[in-house]
Structure 1
């Protein structure tokens, strides 16, 4: 298998993983459609990585039970390492299985391992052989061109996503510093009266949020709020108190629910102020 063909497989399983994540979280979690992915596009690279790793390790293994067990361990290992690295790099906890039985540090759980193991069994014995037959119909030049296009798309997506994350952190940092200064160095000195007055407010601006604290105005853009929509339970320790006090997460959920039931002829740009 040439490198471009391997990358196309990676992209394909990243797409399948995104479909699985989005459907499960939309139907059983938020009960509304969410783009369940760190990146903008419809793909979750962690699934592509796990699928390709399992295919390389298990391609000569024909024992269905061994494939299931080894794949479950490999995929859970990939998920654990990914969770650990993302926490260290972005200083945020993106998913948490602490409320499920047989979990490890909230990063992996038995339920996920069973799903991954079963998924790899289906991929190895049914999906991958068919997929390879289809790619064999394409010449090497076409495969290389397609791989380059997909690689470029993901690269651009990564740059845009990192830019959005940086913007979100910069805006939250401004709010943090403003409130921190007001509290003379500690949030504990802020009374409920501070949060109950118009000195702090959240105003809807289209699909974004316009936040006012003291004399500071901050606009959280839609591409920055997307992280909260994709990962409703995301935990950002440095700014969790601000998010909680200003009810930003709740506001985003309310807006998403409102957009879901909004009539087509109602403009989403009508501003409505929610004083905290």
Structure 2
């Protein structure tokens, strides 16, 4: 069994091993170094916690590897789920999200990772645990307590720094979101206040276009009627087409206006 000092040292070693596994697992697909974890140092306390829970609870099932695997999946998934939930409650963000995985629970745990944790539990219990114990046993007894104290100091300082940094990050995100919401509200207010002006400006611009069309209407109509296959370069064809459509639109509007005036005269006549 562990003493408090050997427990702390074991926790630190397994946190470091977990960090190495995560870095390799995440860096290979990205093809670059990915420093995983909530904290800054090369350790992942969630792996240290999972390892200590597995080694403590599953030792009685040492002779039944399938129970080690099953209970390893369950125990590590509970730790991962609770850690994700706690971090989200405290900092209002998710540090990992498995929502896109086929089988997951609220995006906090998924079948793939839980299966991998079960396999890692087997490796931990049957392969890694004994060498780690042998390594710790080689530490001089008078160095165990100072070593454990240094580890606690490092982890505590790192955790405190990480909490401060994460809190600052959360506040920055909230401030950005507030600024974005304020900007959208101001834009909506500006549009509402200037809706009438925008409509008047739009009407004026279209009137200017209509007046421009009217200015060259007679000559342009003659050119198009006289040259039905009129063409040119690509850009010129587009200009000609737009001009033709504008003329046809104006012609239709003028005809409709004449028709309305005739009907008014007939009614008043």
Q: TM-score range by the shorter chain?
A: 0.5 to 0.7
Match of 1:36 in 2: 36
Contact 1:25 1:34 survives alignment (8 Å): yes
Kindly state the Cα deviation for residue 20 of structure 1 after the two structures are TM-superposed: 1.2
Match of 2:205 in 1: none
Distance in structure 2 (CA, Å) of the matches to 1:143 and 1:85: 32
Match of 2:16 in 1: 15
Match of 1:51 in 2: 51
1:175 corresponds to 2:176:
yes
Kindly state the Cα deviation for residue 189 of structure 1 after the two structures are TM-superposed: 6.8
Structure-1-length-normalised TM-score: 0.64
Contact 2:91 2:167 survives alignment (8 Å): no
Structure 2 CA distance for partners of 1:190 and 1:137, relative to 1, 3 Å: farther
Contact 1:103 1:110 survives alignment (8 Å): yes
Contact 1:50 1:74 survives alignment (8 Å): yes
Distance in structure 2 (CA, Å) of the matches to 1:89 and 1:98: 20
Kindly state the Cα deviation for residue 162 of structure 1 after the two structures are TM-superposed: 1.6
Match of 2:164 in 1: 163
Distance in structure 1 (CA, Å) of the matches to 2:175 and 2:119: 46
Distance in structure 2 (CA, Å) of the matches to 1:190 and 1:43: 51
Structure-2-length-normalised TM-score: 0.65
Q: Runs of 4 or more off by more than 4 Å in structure 1?
A: 187-191
Kindly state the Cα deviation for residue 166 of structure 1 after the two structures are TM-superposed: 2.4
Kindly state the Cα deviation for residue 182 of structure 1 after the two structures are TM-superposed: 3.4
Q: Deviations over 1:121-145 (max 9, x none)?
A: 1111121112112212223321111
Alignment: residue pair count: 189
| Larger helix share, 1 or 2 | 2
Contact 1:71 1:120 survives alignment (8 Å): yes
Distance in structure 2 (CA, Å) of the matches to 1:101 and 1:190: 45
Q: SS at the partner of 1:37?
A: coil
Name whichever of 158-167 and 89-98 sits farther off.
Answer: 158-167
Q: Deviations over 1:38-69 (max 9, x none)?
A: 10001111110001001000122221111111
Distance in structure 1 (CA, Å) of the matches to 2:75 and 2:66: 14
Show the 5 A alignment for 1:155-234.
Answer: 155-184=156-185
Larger radius of gyration: 2
Contact 1:183 1:190 survives alignment (8 Å): no
Name whichever of 171-180 and 56-65 sits farther off.
Answer: 171-180
Structure 2 CA distance for partners of 1:134 and 1:179, relative to 1, 3 Å: closer
Structure 2 CA distance for partners of 1:77 and 1:189, relative to 1, 3 Å: farther
RMSD (CA atoms) = 2.1
Q: SS at the partner of 2:41?
A: coil
- Residue ranges of structure 2 left out of the alignment (5+ in a row): 192-269
Structure 2 CA distance for partners of 1:184 and 1:21, relative to 1, 3 Å: same
Contact 1:18 1:43 survives alignment (8 Å): yes
- Residue ranges of structure 1 left out of the alignment (5+ in a row): 192-276
Q: Deviations over 1:172-231 (max 9, x none)?
A: 34434444333337x87799xxxxxxxxxxxxxxxxxxxxxxxxxxxxxxxxxxxxxxxx
Distance in structure 2 (CA, Å) of the matches to 1:190 and 1:124: 66
Match of 2:102 in 1: 101
Contact 1:17 1:47 survives alignment (8 Å): yes
Kindly state the Cα deviation for residue 167 of structure 1 after the two structures are TM-superposed: 2.4
